[in-house]
Structure 1
Amino acid sequence: MSTHDILTASSNTHLTAQSLTEFCDDYLSANAFKDYAPNGLQVDGGQPIQRIITGVTACDALIDAAIADHAEAIMVHHGYFWKGEPAPLTGMKGQRIRKLMQHGISMIGYHLPLDAHPIIGNNAKLAELLDMTIIGALYPAETHPVGNIATCIPQTAQSLITQITQALGRIPLHIAADYKTHTSTSDKLIERVGLCTGGAQDMIEQAALMGCDAFISGEISERTTHIARELGIDYFACGHHATERGGIEALGKLVAQQFDLPVTFIDIDNPA
């Protein structure tokens, strides 16, 4: 079924989880990615979809929000069934899926495809929020690059901290390129920026190799501090959750427009 067929059918009948997933799979080129979890429909609630909730992670609180909203589907960036996790549906995992099934709620998740999409992806939306222009990929040989390089108006680290704080609602952790001479109040200018949302802190070495003045991601590890200092690249840890709200919210808006359905983004607070 083509995207046109899906949209035509949805205008006359209730939208199915399978049809919604097929549209998103096609738009995000989901099948092109080798990922850490399955992309697309992960739990089929078995009901026609008339209301949708979106959120970053398919946690219990988001499921409760979907139940309260009488939604038939949840769309997220962080879904279930990650590589290496125990397979049995027990404990917290079993409770989440049992609640979805008992309420007939389908769950659809997209991980790397939603990071990498050039229009509604997490990196694209973060660059847009920070008034940056994406000019290339951190790994140019990749067909569907997850990390990007962007340019901005030349600015100091302190100016960028202020901009990030205003855009994301939280103060980023800044590691200065040279901790002996450079601080957040340094007059060193940042113009070429590597960025990759979420837990991509180890891409900082590639960002330095690609000539970036700074690297922006979500999380930070103990080693990241030393890498930034020794490679001479400023690092901004802006929060895994905070940097990955944009993609799933944008996907929800696209779905709402395409299928003429109410889609509500729920931001479950997460300081990490």
Structure 2
Amino acid sequence: MFSKRSSTQKKRAVGRRSPVATVSLILVGLLTTGGAYALFTSSATAETSSGSSQANVNEGKKLFAANCATCHNVNGSGTTAGPSLIGVGAASVDFQVGTGRMPGAANGPQALKKPVQFTDQQIQDMAAYVASLGTGPSEPEAQYLQGNANASKGAELFRINCAMCHNVAGAGGALTDGKFAPALKGVTSKHIYEAMLTGPQNMPVFNDLNITPQDKADIITYLKYLEKNPSPGGFELGNLGPVSEGLFIWIFGLGAIVAITVWLTAKSN
């Protein structure tokens, strides 16, 4: 009886050390991880397209096929003429189409802002369809778009993260190869937020881990403050900084001094 029990224990010990058991444990771990990831992805996709019905998605698919598929492919996977839109989210569509940059008129260093070609509902339908293709940033919540956050903190964040391209006053500026950072005056709060969230054109992506939603609200508040409060120094020369101001002084200031000098000399003669 003792030997029988010892034999059973040995078999169990060998079974625990068997390579088959190790492989089984790895498979169980992979299946568990994959299932958790699929559940998370499904939840995120549902959150991204929340508020959009299947009817919105179907209508957006028709609009996409008629206006976007030539460059981005019928399934949004992209072509040589346009990038893939799988995973860009509703926010990217709302920004690009809502500012008239898309559909693009012609190839160039970057897409230009143009009159919007679609109604708000059509834009929402296309955004719902693209959001259904893969998880991506959703449109911002209204609470972050009111322009009533901390303007002082927003100014500091803007100087650190945005001013090197857009100018400290949001007046825009030139980049390389014919590209540029656009002026931010008159841009809606929603589109400013979506630009930070999705990084259109040459702009880097500032997701919620880089700049939190509240920080984005602070930046928007700062930019809206600049719109409502004119420069206390008078004519701002486009807010283009010391280069334009120095050029103005050089041409008009020194020009006026030279003109007065010539006039005085001529009068004394």
**Normalised by the size of structure 2, how large is the TM-score?**
0.26
TM-score by length of 1: 0.26
When Rg is computed on C-alpha atoms for both structures, the one with the higher figure is 2
Higher percent of residues as strand: 1
